[in-house]
């Protein structure tokens, strides 16, 4: 991947509210990303990459409902009314 063009991107401050949901057991390290380097996820190949190329990632959501779905605290389809339920 050639990231040379990234230097030309305009930088703007983020001044909005971001959300993150986590289980109670992870509250002491809720903003840590240390454990994510070796974990596979949507944006991280984790153990499929050589150790030297693994990276940490921290997920935030633009709204609380998305954060709950990302943390698997909600199940179902958020696009269909009545089709989302809490994960017990």
Cα 44 to Cα 46: distance, rounded to the nearest angstrom: 5
- Number of residues assigned to the chain: 88
Alpha helices of 1-88 — where are they, by DSSP H?
64-70
- 10-residue stretch averages of pLDDT, the chain, 88 residues long: 87 93 86 85 88 89 91 88 86
Q: Report the DSSP beta bridge partners of residue 44.
A: 41
Question: Distance (Å, rounded) from C-alpha 61 to C-alpha 69?
Answer: 10
How confident is the model at residue 10, as a pLDDT?
A: 93
Q: How far apart are CA 24 and CA 69, in angstroms?
A: 16
For position 62, what pLDDT does the model report?
94
- Identify the three-state secondary structure at position 52: helix
């Amino acid at each position: 991947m050639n990231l040379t063009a990234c230097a030309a991107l305009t930088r703007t401050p983020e001044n909005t509210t971001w959300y993150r949901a986590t289980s109670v057991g992870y509250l002491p390290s809720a903003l840590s990303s240390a454990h994510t380097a070796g974990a596979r996820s949507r944006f991280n190949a984790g153990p499929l990459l050589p150790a030297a190329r693994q990276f940490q990632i921290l997920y935030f959501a633009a709204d609380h409902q998305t954060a709950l779905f990302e943390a698997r605290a909600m199940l179902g389809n958020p696009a269909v009314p009545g089709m989302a339920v809490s994960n017990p």
